[in-house]
A and B are shown apart, each in its own frame.
Chain A
């Protein structure tokens, strides 16, 4: 009996050891990837790198100003479209959870969340690129906006569902019209939660390459023309990473470093926002 108990305890300890081993082993590839990108990228980044466009192969120097500008413009345009649409749809879902429309829209949010990004790229190619007659930053931002929508909708919906009903009832009982209750009471109360959804969605789309391949393409020149092709951080990494030239690889390492920093900062902001939100509740 004694020895059997010992066996069982030993088995339990062994299992715990295996679980801890596997659970922490996963941080190894993460740390290796992060350190490698930082090591390769940080030496490339300087003021010149950030403010100049890439040079033809053979000439040293050059930077990623066109990609930075392009990513900024396209993410901005995507947010301008996706944030209001996503918030309104999220408000509808949290306010009318039991309607048929809410059921089907909720289903669509689930579907959109799982759609491979390359499929979004194909579809936007036929929706925007073909009718407009060429690759454009507009097409790229629409593809990114579609990718952003499900995250914003879900975060809005879930945040608003956490708010106590008494808040809305109190405002309504004072005779405040419905739209003002939503805009002046409900949304401000859930602001941090909604904002965290927005930053999270930006963090996700800023690194998306697949939907941009057939929509905004790329451009070696600094451009603000939204009806023409435009470069972006992930796209410049893709083209230069798969090129055979060493100085282009260096450029891509620098761009990866910048992209990684953006993603990290956006994720930290999201974390802080959700933490603040939890305290408020």
Chain B
């Protein structure tokens, strides 16, 4: 018996090989892009890595005019905005996940809510930022006057509020999928023992999905750390560190992403530019690690 495949003409065989190589080439291109990003960031931040070393990360002063660079204000700003946003967003994303995953998985109401949540993620961050400048900033200003902080309006707190809304969908949509994956025999068993709905959620669904929901929080955190435009427009942009806690939360600040967005174009000497790129490198590494841990947890969860 002759092999069927041999009946393909030479040109067809040639095309088949070319096509297969094309597929491989495109996958390799992906590797090259990611490696290229990493290498470019490291190469371009070399001057600053070499001269400032690791102490760059906790240098408290960022003064490009005096050629002093410390990333500490931006690390603090990034962590603070991200964590405030995370704390605000977690109850919402858990509630959405529980409601759409357990209480009301089907029907027009649940479809509408799900579309609304997806829409929150779809609205571009520049629009949130623009809206924030004209609506949220005056509101926060009145709040700040009441509690006795300098009423600037723009600041860490304002940025975190908008950020919280923006990251809710990432945790929520994952949570919905995970909660729907809880095997119904488990839930039915608990109901048969006389558990109420709340007890089933607390003692069956939550323990079952805990790691997965945590992965959702990680993915939201990854989003929050790298979010640029809305934060840049609302955070007030100062590289000084506030002295009191109240001022730290309500006063203006800067995140790693926002300082890059603001100062990259005006960085006029090598040292300044490479210090900014090093911030980009740190941001890249942190988000990559957080995202990969999150994805790894999800893969393990869905495979079990």
Give A contacts to B, CB under 8 Å: 8-9, 11-12, 15-16, 18-27, 29-30, 32-34, 36-37, 85, 88-89, 91-93, 95, 101-102, 104-105, 107-123, 125-127, 146, 149, 153, 173, 175, 177-180, 182, 203-204, 206-210, 213-214, 234, 237-238, 241-242, 249, 252-253, 256, 259-260, 263-264, 267, 271
Contact = CB atoms under 8 A, between A and B. Distances in A.
Contacts of B125: 207, 209
Nearest to B127: A256
B291 A113 contact: yes
Contacts of A89: 23, 26-27, 29-30
Contact of A12 (B91, B92, B127, B197): B197
A33 B135 CA distance: 9
A179 B19 contact: yes
Contact of A116 (B15, B19, B284): B284
A195 to B, nearest CB: 17
A182 B18 CA distance: 13
Contact of B292 (A30, A91, A110): A110
A137 B296 CA distance: 37
Interface in B1-41: 4-5, 7-8, 12-13, 15-16, 18-20, 22-24, 26-31, 33-34, 36-37, 40-41
Contact of B24 (A92, A115, A213, A252): A92
A110 B295 contact: yes
A116 B283 contact: yes
B116 interface: yes
Interface of B: 4-5, 7-8, 12-13, 15-16, 18-20, 22-24, 26-31, 33-34, 36-37, 40-41, 44, 91-92, 94-96, 98-100, 103, 113, 115-120, 122-131, 133-135, 165, 168, 196-199, 201, 219, 222, 225-229, 233, 257, 260-261, 264-265, 277, 280, 283-284, 287-288, 290-292, 295
B169 to A, nearest CB: 9
The 8 A-B residue pairs with the shortest CB-CB distance in the complex, in nearest-first order: A207-B124, A116-B226, A114-B291, A22-B95, A179-B19, A12-B198, A12-B196, A92-B23
A214 to B, nearest CB: 6
Contacts of B26: 85, 88-89, 92
Contacts of A249: 134
Contacts of A111: 34, 288, 291-292
Given A111-B288, A179-B15, A117 B23 contact: no
Majority-rule SS of A interface residues: helix
Contact of A114 (B135, B277, B280, B290): B290
Contact of A16 (B4, B198, B233): B198
A177 B15 contact: yes
B16 A91 contact: no
A15 B202 CA distance: 10
A121 B116 CA distance: 30
Nearest to B226: A116
Contact of A123 (B8, B41, B92): B41
A23 B95 contact: yes
Given A118-B228, A177-B8, A19 B30 contact: no
B124 A208 contact: yes
A118 B131 contact: no
B227 A116 contact: yes
A241 B280 contact: no
Given A92-B23, A118-B257, A119-B283, A241 B129 contact: yes
29 contacts: A12-B196, A23-B98, A25-B92, A33-B131, A36-B135, A88-B23, A105-B28, A105-B31, A114-B222, A114-B290, A114-B292, A116-B227, A116-B287, A117-B228, A121-B264, A122-B260, A122-B280, A127-B40, A175-B4, A175-B8, A177-B15, A177-B16, A178-B19, A206-B124, A207-B123, A242-B233, A256-B130, A259-B124, A260-B123
Given A114-B287, A209-B229, A26 B92 contact: yes
Contacts of A23: 92, 95-96, 98-100, 113
A238 B201 contact: no
Contacts of B165: 26, 29-30
Given A26-B168, A119-B37, A260 B127 contact: yes
B198 A214 contact: no
B96 A213 contact: no
A272 to B, nearest CB: 12
Contact of A127 (B36, B115, B117, B288): B36
B137 to A, nearest CB: 12
B116 A26 contact: yes
A102 B23 CA distance: 11
B28 to A, nearest CB: 7
Nearest to B284: A119
B226 A102 contact: no
Nearest to B222: A114
A200 to B, nearest CB: 9
A69 B199 CA distance: 57
Given A115-B37, A146-B33, A178-B16, 13 more contacts: A8-B198, A25-B92, A33-B123, A89-B29, A89-B30, A111-B288, A114-B226, A116-B228, A127-B36, A177-B13, A238-B126, A238-B129, A241-B130
